[in-house]
Chain A
Amino acid sequence: IQLTQSPATLSASVGDRVTITCRASQNITNWLAWYQQKPGKAPKLLIYKASNLESGVPSTFGGSGSGTEFTLTINSLQPDDFATYYCQYYNTYSAYSFGQGTTLEIK
């Protein structure tokens, strides 16, 4: 199963609402997570099971979707939100895969 994120790069301003899309080549039901990674840092879990907000993550982050199309939405962008975002899936054969990443940069 392949995960395709779009766009690869996204330019936005503080206060904007942005959406990142992750498309799976096959139905993965809701086994999808989203991560944020900043330069020189480990990834941070934001969303699990497609739409569940991880503890401690601001409510400005939201996830939706099921099957083959998923979205990560960030409402009211803050300076700290500019980073690279990855989607990741799991299947019942214990295979894991990541999308190629979306870099969110300041316009």
Chain B
Amino acid sequence: DQQVKQNSPSLSVQEGRISILNCDYTNSMFDYFLWYKKYPAEGPTFLISISSIKDKNEDGRFTVFLNKSAKHLSLHIVPSQPGDSAVYFCAASFVGTASKLTFGTGTRLQVTL
């Protein structure tokens, strides 16, 4: 039972354009969502997060949008850069669970020149 889903295994975007990565979840108890970025042979690194009381959070080129009614969140990267090429994981958590995370399967983003 995959509670957090990333239905696009890969995405290719031209440098300078917008990258949109999507994530869906099924557990309505999730109230905190995070995006992690992972380069090959490295551990995931935290990118941006959003609480369920918000519908948008922005940090520089990265913006996360949350649609609770649709149980959907998305990560926008504008403008995309070659260094953004990595695997992006969506993760979710809820209060009282020791900040345990449930991860999606990841989307590999390739930013081309």
Whether chain B is bound by chain A comes out as no
The interface of chain A, by Cβ under 8 A from chain B, is none
